[in-house]
């Protein structure tokens, strides 16, 4: 019986590893090919060799150069400004909203939570026309606020959902003990709950920033040359020759934009996993 159990355990472990490898290859293969193409000479753009060949750094120079009308450096700054603003506002609003939804009982609480979740599933393409008309009317077209405010509405449901699931599992005894010791509700929230919720807040901040960093649809319609983020800037790249699609430069720009995010996720993967799973285990 023990041998049968051992075989079953090994079989399950093997299937798990095979599935993980398949998923990893499936997810990382496009990123790998982007990096390979980014380091390949323009004349060998469509070379199907699966490893780096004809390596050059000229594509990165082209991507960062403004000679051909590409402004990747300025677009990176725009994305950073938009992402930081969206993340900070979403966290400030999301923390208080999540605390209220997880700690207090009030009429219509389920409806509010359902509305928040429903907002996260609303298609962004349906908002393009009304947002375009609204921001044109009030003179916000091409401004940072026209990009930040809609993205906050997309990121906020994710922020609230993640934090509610964490705060809901935290015991009331912590706040009650703090109040007995003389803390006001605001002090108990600031000194007790916020430090304990730091893993979830950190995870939510990373997810919110990545979501804002990768947004394209709204930004492509509401931005201009001075406020466009990297996703829009890369899509409008031009080549060194007329009617040339600069695939290698686009791949180089994509590598510049993606690698920092990958590094951040790899460095903080333990905190991310801890923040996502902390609210799912009852102590």
Per residue in 112-155, pLDDT (tens digit) is: 888 888 877 878 788 888 999 999 999 999 899 999 999 998 89
Neighbours of 17 (CB within 10 A): 10
Residues lower than pLDDT 70 in the chain: 1-2, 239-244, 271-283
> Nearest-5° angle of CA 86, CA 104, CA 274?
55
Rounded Cα–Cα distance for residues 197 and 175 (Å): 13
- pLDDT of 242: 62
- pLDDT of 128: 87
- pLDDT of 281: 45
3-state secondary structure of 197: coil
- pLDDT of 240: 62
Looking at every residue in the chain, the average pLDDT score rounds to: 84
Percent of the chain with pLDDT over 90: 28
Question: pTM for the whole thing?
Answer: 0.84
- pLDDT of 84: 94
Task: Name beta bridge partners: 55.
Answer: 40
Percent of the chain with pLDDT over 70: 92
- pLDDT of 282: 46
Task: Name beta bridge partners: 40.
Answer: 55
> With contact defined as beta carbons under 8 Å apart, do 162 and 207 qualify?
yes
Within 13 A of 30's CA, how many CA atoms are on the CB side? 5
């Amino acid at each position: 019986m023990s041998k049968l159990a051992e075989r079953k355990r090994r079989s399950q472990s093997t299937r798990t590893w095979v599935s993980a490898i398949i998923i990893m290859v499936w997810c990382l293969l496009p990123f790998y090919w982007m990096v390979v193409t980014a380091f390949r000479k323009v004349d060998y753009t469509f070379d199907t060799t699966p490893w780096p060949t004809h390596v050059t750094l000229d594509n990165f120079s082209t991507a960062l150069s403004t000679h051909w009308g590409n402004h990747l450096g300025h677009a990176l700054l725009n994305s950073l400004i938009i992402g930081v603003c969206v993340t900070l506002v979403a966290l400030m609003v999301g923390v208080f909203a999540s605390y209220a939804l997880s700690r207090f009982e009030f009429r219509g609480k389920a409806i509010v939570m359902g509305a928040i979740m429903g907002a996260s599933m609303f298609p962004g393409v349906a908002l393009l026309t009304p947002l375009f008309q609204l921001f044109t009317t009030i003179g916000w077209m091409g401004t940072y606020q026209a990009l930040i405010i809609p993205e906050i509405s997309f990121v906020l449901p994710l922020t609230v959902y993640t934090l509610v699931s964490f705060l809901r599992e935290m015991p009331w005894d912590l706040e009650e003990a703090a109040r007995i010791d003389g803390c006001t509700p605001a002090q108990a929230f600031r000194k007790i709950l916020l430090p304990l919720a730091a893993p979830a807040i950190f995870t939510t901040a990373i997810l919110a920033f990545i979501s804002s960093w990768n947004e394209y649809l709204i930004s492509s319609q509401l931005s201009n040359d001075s406020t466009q983020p990297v996703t829009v800037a890369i899509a409008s790249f031009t080549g060194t020759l007329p009617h040339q699609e600069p695939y290698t430069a686009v791949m180089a720009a994509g590598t510049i934009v993606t690698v920092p995010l990958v590094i951040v996720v790899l460095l903080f993967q333990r905190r991310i996993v801890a923040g996502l799973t902390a609210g799912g285990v009852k102590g």
